[in-house]
Chains A and B, each alone.
Chain A
Amino acid sequence: MSALIETENLHLAYGGNTVLRDVSLRVQRGEIVTIVGPNGSGKSSLLRALIGAIHPISGRIIRAEGLRIGYVPQSLSINSTLPLTVARFLNLPKRVSAQAALAALEGAGVPELAQRQLGALSGGQFQRVLLARALLQSPDILILDEATQGLDQPGAARFYQQIESVRQSIGCAVLMVSHDLHVVMAASDRVLCLNGHLCCEGTPQVVADAPEYRALFGTGTQGALALYRHHHDHDHHDGCDHEHSDVPVEKESA
């Protein structure tokens, strides 16, 4: 089966600083793929490259023909000088019918918000409105960048349930970045672990057991859980200079 979107040896840089190197990935129709990785590991940059907001230094991005992407950004800071109702926001950049807008809001679980001002929404409501807007384009793939940032755990869990029900109803693929590791581990078909390069990938269980993954999310606890450290010793790196400490047992529950 051909992929919806794939990258080949993608290399991304900002102002001469490499943020990602040699990333090759594929997302198939209908699957949920989650990207995990520490701050600054290039997760958001990868998503922004996939939507076309940044251009790769080298490598390729291949999108299936006529691919419709629904993008849900990390967060939007709405300038308080810009008056905007939810209904008006859903009509950007293309006008949609009132029924379609309402259906999208229902799909995102917030049909009552249409006439509210965007700036007056809570974090959870706002993310669902962003999701509704993404749904309006009947996407082949939903791309979500830390969409549950700022939500409490029950809120995040409900949001992921919503994503799952969206996938079941419209059959889109989902590619998301997330920090909610245990939720992610339960909800994803496949997990990619990123840290400047693709450290490891596979089913949630495979990734959770991978030493690279454990190393990354062990160091997140300031070494408090680290019984000992040693230098990066897995063999897929090429000039990768970050340290991977080998931490047993516990995952960070971010």
Chain B
Amino acid sequence: MDDFIMRAALAGLGVALAAAPLGCFVVWRRMAYFGDATSHAAILGVALALATELPVFAGVLATALAMALLITGLSARQFSSDTLLGVLAHSALALGLVAVSLIDSIRVDLEGYLFGEILAVTNTDLVVIWCGAACVAALLMWRWHALLTATLSPDLATASGISPRREQLVLTLALAVTVAVAIKVVGALLIAAMLVIPAATARPFARTPEAMAAYAVAAGSIAALGGLAGAFALDTPAGPSIVAVGAALFALSAAIGPLLRGRT
């Protein structure tokens, strides 16, 4: 098998490893739009990185983190609403696109950042993706019980000596890192799909949160590999193909799910 296919497959699996369990929390905490806004801010990070000649990873990480913290801060002051998140998500994307186009000294392949270019993943990218993914997975495992308790009820968490704010911050950090590693693979526009779709696919089959996270990793991995194979066979763009396979898996799960209702 060609090296670049191997690298693409490994990159896709790395993203699934981080995005799927994090995506479970995004689903449980109704943060889908939060994920959207944070990942759209990544384009602004690309512009920042190009302007300052920083690595794209660093630029994306910084802006995703800033956006996630901004949303967390605003929602703590009870500004949180669909509307506000919608405003932030699309404004970040629009500002990013404008900013990238202003940097006219460099010819930028914008499409690559919007939809990913998994086939162009280098060995260095692979190291960054797997290190980032491993950090996210380790962080989630370390805080798992506290995160779950805070997700169920902030008051119950507080009564058990867990700070819901700190756990929210953990998720915010994990989300920013995931966005930064996923942009190369599926692109800023589709990162949120890699968070939400595998988790939603896993739900009907799971009786515990841990099982749901594990099934989500499996669904995300199948989507990544299946999408890559499909992209080769049909000569379609890889990022959208991965998400399309994920969506097909979700449709299948949603169809089978009701049959299992008595069990879960």
Contacts and interface: CB of A to CB of B under 8 A. Distances in A.
Contacts of B162: 93
Interface residues of A, number: 27
Interface in A57-73: 69-71, 73
Nearest to A71: B159
A16 interface: no
A92 interface: yes
Contact of A93 (B148, B154, B203, B207): B148
Contacts of A51: 155, 158-159
Interface in A108-126: 117
Interface string B158-171: 11101000000000
A23 B27 CA distance: 40
B158 A88 contact: no
A89 B28 CA distance: 15
Given A51-B158, A53-B155, A69-B159, A81 B27 contact: yes
Nearest to B204: A83
B146 interface: yes
A148 B92 CA distance: 46
Nearest to A79: B28
Interface in A135-167: 137, 143
Nearest to A47: B155
A95 B146 CA distance: 12
B152 A78 contact: yes
Contacts of A84: 152, 208-209
B148 A83 contact: no
Interface in B168-209: 199-200, 203, 206-209
B149 interface: yes
Given A83-B209, A85-B207, A48 B155 contact: yes
Interface string B25-68: 00111100000000000000000000000000000000000000
Interface string B140-159: 00000110110111111111
A73 B28 contact: no
B256 interface: no
Interface of B is mostly: helix
A15 B207 CA distance: 40
B151 A71 contact: no
B27 A93 contact: no
Residue with the highest number of chain A CB atoms closer than 10 Å, among B146, B149, B151, B208: B208
A4 to B, nearest CB: 15
Nearest to A88: B208
B91 interface: no
Nearest to B206: A83
Closest 9 A-B residue pairs measured CB to CB? A71-B159, A51-B159, A93-B149, A53-B158, A93-B145, A83-B206, A82-B28, A92-B149, A81-B27
Interface of B: 27-30, 78, 145-146, 148-149, 151-160, 162, 199-200, 203, 206-209, 211-212, 264
5 contacts: A51-B158, A83-B212, A84-B152, A88-B209, A93-B146
